Structure 1
Amino acid sequence: MSNSESLSRVALKKITPEVSGAMGALHGAAVSAAQDAKVEPELLELIRIRASQLNGCAFCLDMHTKDARAGGETEQRIYALNAWRETPFFTERERAALALTEAVTLVHDGHVPDEVYAEAAEVFDEAQLAALIWAATVINAYNRIAIATRMVPGAYQPVQRKS
């Protein structure tokens, strides 16, 4: 069966609205924790994009690259995110968050190494670290939902932020 002939997948929001709502509430709580900890929204988008790249989630990549651009992120940094270690485009803080995101996303490859956690702990306080871990956890869950249900990318449009 080709992708164009793929099997119809379950509509999670329709079939399990209470669980979908709980997932939305978890996302909202994670965003609030990040705001309270003064984690930049732009950094959260980098986390979401990087985890989605690692997981191969086309739907989330479409959504979060659009959101990042709407938030002022440059095309150059979005395109280079997959090779962030080899570029000069990311700050020490962003690099630590990206390394932590990769470790959380690829937890099966050796858990979250002490050196990765220590590097993040040097540039983020405990509330910020907690917010980063929650952000990575939530996007990983959303990646799995979008991939399992074959959510189709392309139609998403970012909400215009108020100045």
Structure 2
Amino acid sequence: MISPLKVIYARKTELIPLTAYIDWMREKKLAVGPAVRMLVTTRVSQLNGCAFCHDLNLARAVQEQIGYARFLGLDRWPESEAFNERERAALALADEVTRNHDLSESTFELCRQHFSDEEVVELIWLVAVENYFNMQARSLRIGSDGLFRRTAEAHGP
């Protein structure tokens, strides 16, 4: 059983449907593709120092076979050649909104070059949702469950 189930949802079961709905929206109802979604949420959890969420996001990247090696270099995304221009725009948005709780005009325009207006809204929503989960896990001292390591071992290189 993953730690948030033991720490949060065992104590406040009414939050389970909300979390399940957010996860369903994230996975099934967004136009932004899975690789960009996972890069954004992983970067946000990394910026927030949320060990559980970062671990979970890396495990999801392995499960979805989205080239998780790139995810390990997210802290160097601006200078890394592992990311295309669309991904860089999404990561710039993730960094700015997480750090500043706002988006500069230049980053907004950069995103509009690579994403539809609907997708820009989705990216900002993804950042907000990941910040929501990170805030809970960090504040309640929920650490890594070792999901990435176990998933990587199960799926191989």
TM-score (norm 1): 0.79
Residues 41 and 127 of structure 2 are in contact (CA less than 8 Å); yes or no, is this contact kept in structure 1? yes
1:43-62 correspondence runs (5 A): 43-62=36-55
Aligned residue in 2 for 1:31: 27
* Equivalent of 1:90 in 83, 92, 95: 83
The partner residue of 2:66 within 73, 81, 87 is 73
Task: Show structure 2 runs of 5+ residues with no match.
Answer: 1-5
Matched residues in 1 for 2:41 and 2:67: separation?
15
**Residues 93-132 of structure 1: pairs in structure 2 closer than 5 A:** 93-108=86-101, 111-132=102-123
2:121 alignment partner AA: A
Deviating beyond 4 angstroms after TM superposition, the runs of 4 or more aligned structure 1 residues are none
TM-score by length of 2: 0.82
Q: What value does the CA root-mean-square deviation take over the aligned residues?
A: 2.1
- Preserved contact between residue 50 and residue 143 of structure 2 (Cα < 8 Å): no
Q: Distance in 1 between matches of 2:74 and 2:146?
A: 23
Q: Per-residue deviation at 1:80?
A: 1.5
Q: Which amino acid aligns with 1:112?
A: L
**Of 112, 134, 137, which residue of structure 2 is paired with 1:146?**
137
1:57-112: per-residue Cα shift (whole Å, max 9, x none)?
1101111111112222334312221110011110110000001111111125xx21
Work out whether residues 33 and 131 of structure 1, in 8 Å CA contact, stay in contact via their aligned partners in 2: no
Task: Tell which structure's C-alpha radius of gyration is larger.
Answer: 1
Q: Check conservation: 2:96, 2:103, Cα contact below 8 A.
A: yes
With 93-102 and 17-26 compared, the bigger mean Cα shift is at: 17-26
Count how many residue pairs are aligned between Structure 1 and Structure 2. Answer: 145
Which of 10, 16, 20 does residue 14 from structure 1 map onto?
Answer: 10
Gaps of 5+ in 1: 1-9
Q: Which string of whole-angstrom CA distances, capped at 9 and with x for unpartnered residues, describes residues 111-157 of structure 1?
A: 21111111001110012112111111111111111111122312436
Corresponding residue SS for 1:150: coil
